[in-house]
Amino acid sequence: MSRAGTSDRSKEAEVFLRQYTEQFQRLCQGDGSWIPRLIRLRDLVVTAARHGRKTILIGNGGSAAMASHVAVDLTKNAGVRAINFNEADLITCFANDYGYEQWMAKAVEQYGDAGDVLIAISSSGKSPNILNACEAARRMTFAAVVTFSGLSADNPLRQLGDENFWVDSRAYNLVEMAHHFWLLALVDVIIGKAEYPAKPSGV
């Protein structure tokens, strides 16, 4: 490839990435309603913890990885007990015995308690196992079901939560990044600051 061709491609990439960043910022900010909604989520999670309850995070694929990350940070950094269901033995056992669409609901039934908070993450908002888990949490009288979705405004997951975070985009990576931003902001707003040591003092 000629230097001119390489230069043109670099300029195109730069324009793309600038627009990409601007789009991400717009999606995260939206109309600003995410801020009071996130404060309400903070209060739900903290109140559950004060009553000896926990927060359960669920997702598939990249959303499952997000659930793991945020559950660890809530527990270690924010002092809020949180779990996820990403153990391979749990997934394969429950999916084999109950079916993939029901395994997560069964995990909620086995590991959840009345008064817990469920955070359900699904870019499409249409994953049957996520929807069934939300219904299970309702039956078990969880303190709250909170959803994170994107794509269609009328996706079914968005109809199931006490608080519903939705990203107005059909770009999966942008939806997932916005979810991750909001969830990590949840950790930091519980702590009350954005900068803190990764390892607690004295450890």
Residues 21 and 110 in one domain: no
Q: What is the dihedral of CA 177, 80, 77, 121, to 10 degrees?
A: -10
Is residue 184 within 8 A of residue 38, CB to CB? The reply is no
Residues 62 and 106 in one domain: yes
Could you report the per-residue pLDDT of 2-26, keeping only the tens digit for each?
Answer: 666 678 889 999 999 999 999 999 9
User: Can you give the pLDDT at residue 203?
Assistant: 41
pTM above 0.75, yes or no: yes
Residues 88 and 6 in one domain: no
Name the residue with higher pLDDT: 175 or 202.
Answer: 175
Q: Which domain holds residue 14?
A: 1-30
Burial of 126 (0-12, 13-18, 19+ CB in 10 A): middle
Number of compact structural domains in the chain: 2
User: Can you give the pLDDT at residue 5?
Assistant: 66
Residues 37 and 11 in one domain: no
Mean pLDDT of 96-124: 99
User: Can you give the pLDDT at residue 158?
Assistant: 98
CATH code for the domain in which residue 82 is found = 3.40.50.10490
Mean pLDDT of 75-98: 98
**Angstrom distance (rounded) from CA 91 to CA 94:** 5
User: Can you give the pLDDT at residue 198?
Assistant: 83
Tell me the H-state helices in the chain. 3-29, 34-50, 62-76, 88-98, 100-111, 128-139, 172-191
Could you report the per-residue pLDDT of 141-152, keeping only the tens digit for each?
Answer: 999 999 999 999
**Angstrom distance (rounded) from CA 28 to CA 45:** 21
Assess whether pLDDT exceeds 90 at residue 123: yes
**144 beta partners:** 117
Residues 5 and 96 in one domain: no
